[in-house]
């Protein structure tokens, strides 16, 4: 049992569906990060929480797990490559802490994947790129320069 005294559902918007979002590229930012142990305890991974910043799926959350400390050297190499892509996309090439990667917009490539255990579709982040790179390639329309201090994803 848990005490819910003081909670009023009429003052909180209900959660909507957690169906996967369609495959595509989304402007997002890392909003949380945490190093967690692997299930076997033989390593650890960096769990990154990405929040979509604009469009129909604004506010949706996706996760990436980077196996940075693992006995499987291939897993570590893949994770380091993904972290390198994230760092390059946000312009922080030598972060001392994962918090330095937070709240910086980047494009994430999202794919749909069938879960092996349930067969349900789920999202998987399969790529990271700088927002400016995507604009130059035509994936996103360029934005007029501004001189205010509003973050670009809120303009």
Per-residue pLDDT band for 17 (boundaries 50, 70, 90) equals low
Please give the structure tokens belonging to residue 94.
Answer: 């030598």
From start to end of 16-105, where are the E strands?
A: 24-37, 44-52, 61-69
Would the pLDDT of 154 be above 80? no
Give CA–CA dist 33/75, Å, rounded.
Answer: 19
Q: Is the entire prediction scored with pTM above 0.95?
A: no
Residues 6+ apart with CB under 8 A from 135: 141, 142, 143
State residue 53's pLDDT score: 97
Please give the structure tokens belonging to residue 39.
Answer: 């299930």
Would the pLDDT of 144 be above 50? no
Report DSSP state, residue 22: P
* CATH numbers and ranges of domains, the chain: 18-136 (2.40.50)
Three-state helix/strand/coil letters over 62-105: EEEEEEEECCCHHHHHHHHHHHHHHHHHHCCCCCCCHHHHECCC
Mean pLDDT of 136-142: 42
Q: What SS3 state is found at 79?
A: helix
Mean pLDDT of 81-99: 97
CA 121 to chain CA centroid, nearest Å: 18
Please give the structure tokens belonging to residue 125.
Answer: 């982040």
Give CA–CA dist 155/152, Å, rounded.
Answer: 5
State residue 1's pLDDT score: 76
State residue 75's pLDDT score: 96
State residue 47's pLDDT score: 98
Listing from the earlier edge strand, what are the strands of the sheet with 61-69? 61-69, 44-52, 24-37, 106-114, 121-129
Q: What SS3 state is found at 126?
A: strand
State residue 143's pLDDT score: 36
The residues with which 26 forms a beta bridge, in sequence order, are 108
Q: How does the average pLDDT of the chain come out, rounded?
A: 86
State residue 14's pLDDT score: 78
């Amino acid at each position: 049992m848990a005490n819910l005294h003081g909670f009023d559902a009429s003052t909180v918007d209900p959660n909507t569906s957690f169906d996967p979002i369609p495959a595509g590229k989304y402007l997002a930012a890392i909003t949380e990060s945490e190093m967690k142990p692997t299930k076997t305890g033989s390593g650890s991974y960096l769990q990154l929480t990405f929040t979509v910043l604009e469009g129909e799926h604004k506010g949706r959350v996706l996760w990436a797990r980077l196996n940075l400390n693992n006995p499987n050297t291939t897993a570590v190499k893949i994770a380091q490559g993904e972290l390198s892509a994230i760092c390059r996309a946000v312009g922080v090439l030598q972060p001392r802490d994962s918090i330095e990667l937070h709240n910086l917009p980047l494009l994430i490539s999202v794919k749909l994947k069938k879960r092996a255990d349930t067969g349900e579709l789920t999202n998987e982040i399969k790529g990271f790129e700088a927002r400016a790179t995507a604009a130059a390639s035509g994936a996103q329309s360029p934005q007029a320069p501004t001189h205010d201090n509003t973050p670009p994803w809120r303009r």
